Homo-oligomer: A and B are copies of this chain.
């Protein structure tokens, strides 16, 4: 099983070969994530949850991860660390006894 850094190295190589990192400022990388997320959502528009095109979902998810890794890299974030820290934060905002079985936001619990 490869880890994040192996994947990030591949993405970096791809971009360096094309001299693309000049375009990759933080604001546009964040924008790119959002645009790709929109393309992912388009696969579900006017459809039931299971009707999206499987192969296209693959591609859009890959794009989202790519730009997410690039932006995290710009900030020098460690993916495992930031996600683990967020889980810990969420555990405080959503204590099991209050949040169990509820889709409410923490400020409505």
Contact present for B49 and A28 (CB under 8 Å): yes
**Interface residues on chain A, size class:** 35 or more
Chain B hits for A47, CB < 8 A = 27, 103
Contact present for A68 and B68 (CB under 8 Å): yes
Contact present for B45 and A35 (CB under 8 Å): yes
Nearest-neighbor residue (CB-CB) of A84 within chain B: B10
Chain B hits for A91, CB < 8 A = 14
**How far, in angstroms, from A98 to B40 measured CA to CA in the complex?**
26
Chain B hits for A100, CB < 8 A = 17-19
* Among candidates B30, B32, B54, B101, residue contacting A75 with C-beta atoms closer than 8 Å: B54
Contact present for B35 and A41 (CB under 8 Å): yes
Q: How close is A53's CB to chain B, nearest CB, in angstroms?
A: 10
A11-B87, A19-B100, A44-B31 known; A50 vs B62 contact (CB < 8 Å): no
Contact present for A45 and B62 (CB under 8 Å): no
